[in-house]
């Protein structure tokens, strides 16, 4: 026996929250050099020792061998995919988002690297003494002899839920008649190209052989080029692969695989020099101030608060260039995939192939290859959406969050993290700067900047000195009273006519897709609703179907009410498809581009459509919020907001903030070139202070109003909010579970010396009480996100999963997430 034994602490991939832990395994001597922190291993787990994949969190040595520990079976990864920093992030996610270790691991490592584990059964090619078999064993052996495929065998011998069959198979294995082999398959393999080169033996003259004319051409080509792909050799010498095979048999050439990266960036185009960008006085002051923070090499947070069109992106570019000159790396986050193409195009021209891009519209293979490029140090700048915060860059100099107040930076599925919180952790590890930027920062960030927790830098003027667009609020009640039943006001129609005549462009915003959003029966007063969610269905004219935007349910167009059979169905509510029809009727000569989830489903649709609009191939772009922020089209001189009234009253305490931000940002798309811009906001509540402040683009006054309201009602940043959500197929179960958890929290508070403030709201139904045939309740806790509070939530979740009465109930805890739905 060895004098020192290695023990690995392993997180299991199949573990649920109730038994999620780091389990100890002994490391066999032959695996000692391979088992390291971050690598995945195959281990026996549970009473039945079923094989499972897990990742090694850490290893340590013991002086004495512990024979009670199960051994690691094998190592899955050749090298760890998790850096030391990312291992810390995994532990932080586990602690702060109430997820399992492996859920955290899957956030850090792309899905393409995941493995599926399976077991294959086969009959050992040996004599079988059937007198030693019972009836069940004979049946299994007979089946194995007659089976037509391995899949048929594996399906028949799946023993996971059949104790009798498991006993039979285990007996046959013990007797040596059946063999079990393990199979691990990666979800996405590496992209390889078949290559050829001259062998060392041929080059050195050890091999002398007669070559045919075709073979001689191949050898000459390889002598000149050194190596080439099989396709290139066949094309350039007009030979076939069989000729290459014969050369390989003669040991004249060597065939091998060469890994190539699946392109996620596209053509680089004409290169530009970042040094050619000239900053104005405001930009230079912000750049120099942020650079002082970077050079201090201490963790710091900074907020770049600048009006739309003030040139924040130019500051980003200068900062990233300086960081790279210091030998460091940079991460830049954007909130929407729609912003990635324009941003990426600009950065590609400036930094070339030093960029990696990470977002969900890439294929699994592309995401996997971009991850590998970053790990190898081939890419030093990462641009992407929320998940790009986990990019395995090292020696980070700056992390930039553009439009930092956007809700898309918060994950609404496990693990429920906010990219800003992860960025703060990374800045602490790398001693670097987190730069948050927006014309409409989140109230929390602006509050912390005012209090000195973040450094505040301001850009008060547009870069081109062009004025902000004039914004006009249009009262749609007056329009209706004066006989205008169109979706567009008269002033907006007049301005569109003018814009089209001048060969300029316009952007129109309506944050609802579909044609009509509500169909009601005039007799029974019931809406045509989704049977899974009890939410009104949206009619989509393009495919003549009703659709649920929450669970995906669809149904054919109907002429009668499903409830009472009446033919008196009334449509109401407006979606982008209906506005598109209205625009085609009013402006038949205009070239329209509709941008919503229905028209941007393909991987490259954002980039292709935005490029076409920028080139002037369309006159009007109509879309949802994906067109509202971060885009720069110099020929756009008019922006129109069809309606955003519903967004003001969603039931979320952030509804005013989000509506103000969306209005301000979309108005800022107008007049960004050398032509003045204008924006119109159509509304039925023209006196609402949020709309009027957005029209004035007066964020400072809006902040004063909203922060006072937050303070009086005790909402963030004056507290943290934890939502405990419940869902189940039966309403009685979800009600019972929510009340049981509430009582459990009361008992915990009385039994422990709780020293954190806590105010509970509920439990009560969610705004949408049922989605996808599951009833939904929630308990809202106003508190401070402390270690003691998180310990209470972990205790509550652990106890809940042990309660067999609520096995059909799903539960989650989300800190500072969305409470509006």
pLDDT in tens, 592-641: 998 887 777 665 677 788 888 888 999 999 988 888 877 788 899 999 99
Please indicate if the annotation marks 521 as binding a ligand: yes
Question: Alpha-carbon distance 321 to 337, whole Å?
Answer: 24
DSSP 431: T
Average pLDDT of 426-446?
94
434 against 307, higher pLDDT: 434
Question: Are 644 and 608 contacting, i.e. CB atoms less than 8 angstroms apart?
Answer: no
- Per CATH, the number for 720-815 is 3.30.70.360
H-run or E-run covering 738: helix 731-751
Average pLDDT of 418-424?
95
Please indicate if the annotation marks 427 as binding a ligand: no
CATH superfamily to which 470-513+575-711 belongs: P-loop containing nucleotide triphosphate hydrolases (3.40.50.300)
pLDDT score recorded for residue 1: 43
pLDDT score recorded for residue 284: 93
Query: Does residue 767 surpass a pLDDT of 90?
Result: no
Please indicate if the annotation marks 548 as binding a ligand: yes
Query: Does residue 350 surpass a pLDDT of 90?
Result: no
Query: Does residue 145 surpass a pLDDT of 90?
Result: no
pLDDT score recorded for residue 420: 95
Please indicate if the annotation marks 564 as binding a ligand: yes
Q: How far is CA 622 from CA 19, 161, 470, 629, in A?
A: 50, 53, 20, 14
In the chain, domain spans: 5-114, 117-186, 192-259, 274-459, 470-513+575-711, 720-815
Question: Are 150 and 411 contacting, i.e. CB atoms less than 8 angstroms apart?
Answer: no
Q: Which region among 38-52, 95-109, 190-204 has the lowest average model confidence (pLDDT)?
A: 190-204
Model confidence pLDDT, tens digit, residues 540-573: 887 788 888 888 888 888 888 888 888 888 877 7
Question: Alpha-carbon distance 720 to 629, whole Å?
Answer: 28
Work out the pLDDT band at 821, boundaries 50, 70, 90: low
Please indicate if the annotation marks 432 as binding a ligand: no
Model confidence pLDDT, tens digit, residues 81-121: 999 999 999 999 999 999 999 999 999 998 877 766 666 77
Dihedral sign of CA atoms 577, 579, 582, 587 in order: negative
DSSP 557: -
800 against 605, higher pLDDT: 800
Work out the pLDDT band at 502, boundaries 50, 70, 90: very high
Q: Which CATH class is domain 5-114?
A: alpha beta
Model confidence pLDDT, tens digit, residues 441-458: 999 999 999 999 999 999
- Mean pLDDT, the chain, integer: 86
Query: Does residue 268 surpass a pLDDT of 60?
Result: no
Average pLDDT of 509-519?
82
Topology alike, domains 274-459 and 470-513+575-711? yes
pLDDT score recorded for residue 259: 65
- Per CATH, the number for 117-186 is 1.10.10
Residues 554-567, buried b or exposed e (16+ Cβ, 10 A)? eeeeeeebeeeeee
Please indicate if the annotation marks 530 as binding a ligand: yes
Q: How far is CA 419 from CA 416, 647, 789, in A?
A: 10, 24, 21
Share of the chain above pLDDT 90, in %: 41
Query: Does residue 584 surpass a pLDDT of 50?
Result: yes
Q: Identify the bridge partners of residue 529 per DSSP, sorted by sequence position.
A: 536
- The answer to whether domain 192-259 has CATH 1.10.10.10 is yes
710 against 140, higher pLDDT: 710
Model confidence pLDDT, tens digit, residues 351-367: 888 888 887 777 777 78
Work out the pLDDT band at 62, boundaries 50, 70, 90: confident
Please indicate if the annotation marks 533 as binding a ligand: yes
Please indicate if the annotation marks 719 as binding a ligand: no
Q: CATH topology for 274-459?
A: Rossmann fold (3.40.50)
The CA-based dihedral angle spanning residues 260, 398, 94, 57, taken in that order and rounded to the nearest 10 degrees: 60
Query: Does residue 258 surpass a pLDDT of 70?
Result: no
């Amino acid at each position: 026996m060895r004098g020192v034994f290695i023990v690995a602490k392993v997180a299991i991939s199949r573990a649920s929250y109730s038994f999620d832990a780091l389990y100890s395994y002994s490391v066999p001597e032959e695996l000692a050099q391979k088992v390291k922190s971050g690598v995945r291993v195959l281990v026996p787990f549970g009473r039945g020792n079923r094989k499972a994949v897990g990742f090694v969190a850490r290893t340590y040595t013991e002086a004495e061998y512990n024979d009670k520990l199960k051994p690691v079976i094998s190592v899955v990864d050749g090298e760890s995919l998790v850096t030391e920093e990312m291992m810390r992030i995994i532990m932080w996610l586990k602690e702060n988002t109430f997820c399992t270790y492996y859920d955290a691991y899957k956030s850090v490592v792309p899905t393409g690297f995941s493995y599926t584990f399976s077991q294959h059964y086969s009959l050992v090619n040996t004599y079988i003494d059937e007198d030693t078999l019972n009836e069940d064993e004979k049946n299994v052996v007979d089946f194995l002899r007659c089976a037509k495929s391995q899949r048929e065998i594996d399906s028949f011998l799946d023993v996971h839920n059949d104790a009798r069959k498991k006993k039979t198979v285990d007996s046959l294995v013990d007797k040596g008649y059946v063999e079990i082999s393990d199979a691990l398959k990666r979800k996405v393999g590496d992209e390889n190209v078949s290559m050829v080169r001259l062998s060392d033996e041929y080059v050195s003259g050890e091999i002398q052989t007669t070559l045919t004319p075709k073979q001689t051409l191949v050898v000459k080509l390889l002598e000149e080029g050194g190596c080439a792909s099989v396709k290139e050799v066949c094309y350039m010498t007009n030979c076939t692969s069989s000729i290459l095979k014969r050369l390989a048999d003669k040991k004249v050439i060597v065939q091998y695989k060469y890994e190539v990266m699946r392109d996620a960036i596209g053509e680089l185009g004409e290169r530009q020099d970042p040094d050619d960008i000239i900053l104005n006085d405001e930009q230079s002051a912000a750049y120099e101030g942020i650079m002082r923070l970077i050079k201090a090499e201490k963790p710091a947070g900074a907020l770049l608060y600048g009006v739309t069109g003030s040139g924040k992106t130019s500051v980003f570019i200068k900062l990233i260039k300086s960081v790279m000159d210091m030998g460091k790396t940079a991460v830049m986050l954007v909130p929407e995939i729609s912003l990635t193409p324009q941003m990426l195009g600009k950065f590609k021209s400036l930094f070339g192939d030093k960029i990696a891009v990470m977002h969900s519209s890439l294929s699994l293979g592309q995401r996997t290859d971009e991850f590998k490029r970053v790990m190898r140090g081939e890419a030093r700048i990462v641009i992407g959406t929320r998940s790009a915060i986990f990019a395995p860059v090292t020696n980070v100099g700056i992390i930039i969050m553009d439009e930092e107040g956007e809700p898309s930076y918060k994950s609404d599925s496990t693990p429920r993290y906010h990219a800003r919180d992860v960025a703060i952790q990374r800045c602490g590890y790398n001693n670097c700067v987190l730069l948050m930027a927006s014309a409409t920062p989140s109230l929390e960030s602006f509050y912390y900047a005012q209090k000195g927790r973040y450094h505040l830098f301001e850009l008060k003027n547009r870069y081109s000195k062009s004025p902000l667009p004039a914004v006009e609020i249009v009262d749609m009640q007056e329009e209706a009273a004066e006989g205008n039943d169109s979706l567009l006001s008269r002033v907006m129609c007049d301005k569109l006519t003018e814009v089209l005549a001048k060969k300029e462009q316009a952007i129109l915003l309506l944050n609802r897709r579909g044609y009509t959003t509500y169909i009601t029966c005039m007799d029974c007063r019931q809406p045509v609703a989704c049977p899974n969610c009890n939410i009104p269905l949206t009619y989509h004219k393009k495919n003549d179907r009703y659709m649920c935007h929450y669970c995906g349910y669809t149904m054919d167009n109907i002429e009668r009410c499903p409830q009472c059979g009446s033919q008196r169905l009334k449509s109401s509510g407006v979606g982008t498809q209906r506005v598109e029809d209205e625009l085609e009727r009013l402006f038949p000569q205009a070239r329209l581009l509709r941008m919503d989830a229905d028209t941007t489903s393909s991987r490259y649709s954002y980039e292709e459509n935005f490029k076409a609009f920028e080139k002037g191939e369309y006159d009007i772009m109509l879309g949802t919020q994906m067109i509202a922020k971060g885009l720069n089209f110099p020929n756009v001189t008019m922006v129109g907001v069809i309606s955003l009234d519903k967004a003001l009253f969603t039931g979320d305490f952030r509804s005013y903030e989000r509506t103000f931000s969306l209005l301000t940002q979309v108005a800022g798309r107008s007049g960004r070139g050398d032509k003045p811009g204008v924006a119109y906001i159509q509304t039925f509540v023209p006196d609402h202070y949020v709309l009027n402040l957005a029209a004035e683009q007066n964020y400072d006054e809006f902040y004063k109003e909203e922060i006072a309201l937050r303070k009086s009602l005790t909402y963030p940043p004056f507290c943290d909010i934890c939502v405990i959500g419940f869902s189940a197929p039966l309403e009685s179960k979800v009600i019972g579970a929510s009340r049981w958890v509430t009582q459990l929290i009361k008992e915990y508070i009385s039994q422990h010396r709780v020293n954190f403030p806590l105010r509970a709201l509920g439990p009560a139904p969610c705004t949408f009480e049922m989605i996808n045939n599951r009833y939904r309740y929630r308990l809202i806790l106003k508190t401070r996100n402390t270690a003691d509070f998180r310990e209470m939530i972990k205790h509550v979740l652990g106890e809940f999963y042990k309660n067999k009465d609520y096995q059909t109930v799903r539960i989650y805890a989300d800190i500072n997430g969305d409470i509006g739905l």
